[in-house]
Amino acid sequence: MSRLLRQSFLMLLAMTVITGVLYPLAVTGLAQVLFPRQANGSLVVRDGRPVGSALIGQSFTDPKYFWGRPSATAPMADNGAASGGSNLGPSNPALTAVAKQRIDALRRADPGNDAPVPVDLVTASGSGLDPQISPAAARYQAARVARVRGLPADRVQALVDAYTQGRQLGVLGEPRVNVLELNLALDALQKR
């Protein structure tokens, strides 16, 4: 019996070292060598300091910026440690109320815009952290951003087009616009 317990303990110790120490170190080291940007969080750096991640949405509420998808994370919006959807179904009155509040905020920020509001501007993604919006959502906001910043609307639309990413490998996903990168490009445009 003691021999069996000793073998079991040694196997537990060996597997703990292999799967709990060696494997994670090997994977981390390999990721740092092959994909250093992604392994370090896909950070977006401006002027030598990180301003966000290309993978996690950020809350923009100033009318001079493009707004991203609503966040369902708590206790604050776009909390990377609390990824998760709202879990509100389409028949839930709370979802309707939140969507109506978001539509009202969009209408107040751009009272002359009577176009239909794209759904991704009023509903959270499954993770609650989506950093991208659809090109339609960006186009919906382009006139407001141009007006508030005093830029020609066609210049802002050209920037939206430049930051629109196509489908991955030509077939996966939908075209999308990274809100953080677009807003940083707007700021850089105005600095010139």
In this model, does residue 136 exceed pLDDT 90? yes
The verdict on 115 and 51 lying in the same domain is yes
Domain co-membership, 103 together with 187: yes
**Count of helices and strands (H, E) across the chain:** 7, 5
DSSP-derived letter for residue 76 is S
Which residues, in sequence order, are CB contacts of 43 under 8 Å at separation 6+? Answer: 37, 50, 52, 53, 54
- Same domain as 58, residue 11: no
pLDDT cut 70: percent of the chain above it: 97
- How many whole angstroms separate alpha carbon 57 and alpha carbon 76? 12
Q: Do 81 and 97 share a structural domain? A: yes
2 and 74 together in one domain: no
Rounded to whole angstroms, the Cα distance separating 160 from 176 reads 10
Look up the domain containing 3 and give its range: 1-40
Same domain flag for 88 and 126: yes
Q: Which of 143-147's residues contact partners 24+ apart within 8 Å by CB, and which partners? A: 143/110, 143/112, 143/113, 144/63, 144/109, 144/110, 144/113, 145/63, 145/64, 145/65, 145/66, 145/186, 147/110
- pLDDT for the residue numbered 89: 81
CA distance 74 to 78: 8
Does residue 143 register a pLDDT over 90?
yes
CA separation for the pair 79, 65 (Å, rounded):
20
Supply the mean pLDDT for the chain.
89
Q: Give the total residue count for the chain.
A: 192
Give 176 or 71, the one with higher predicted confidence: 176
Residue 84 and residue 29 share a domain? no
pLDDT of the residue at 132: 92
Token pair belonging to 106: 């969009």
What amino acid occupies position 66?
Answer: F
Start-to-end C-alpha separation, the chain: 78
Total domains present in the chain: 2
Question: Do 20 and 101 fall into the same domain?
Answer: no
Question: What is the value of pTM for the model shown?
Answer: 0.80
- Work out the average pLDDT over 18-43: 93
**In the predicted model, what is the mean pLDDT of residues 121-127?**
84
Specify whether 59 is located in the same domain as 6: no
Structure confidence at residue 6 as a pLDDT band (50, 70, 90): very high
Sign of CA dihedral 184, 186, 187, 188: positive
Q: What is the pLDDT of residues 32-89, one digit of tens each?
A: 999 998 888 888 888 889 888 888 888 888 999 999 998 877 667 777 777 777 677 8
Evaluated on CA atoms 115, 105, 186, 85, the torsion sign reads negative
Residues 49 and 140 in one domain: yes
Least confident of 15-19, 70-74, 111-115: 70-74
Look at the alpha carbons of 97, 103, 106, 107 in this order and tell me if their dihedral is positive or negative. negative
Provide the β-strand partners of residue 172. Answer: 168
For residues 59 and 68, the answer to whether their CB atoms sit within 8 Å is yes
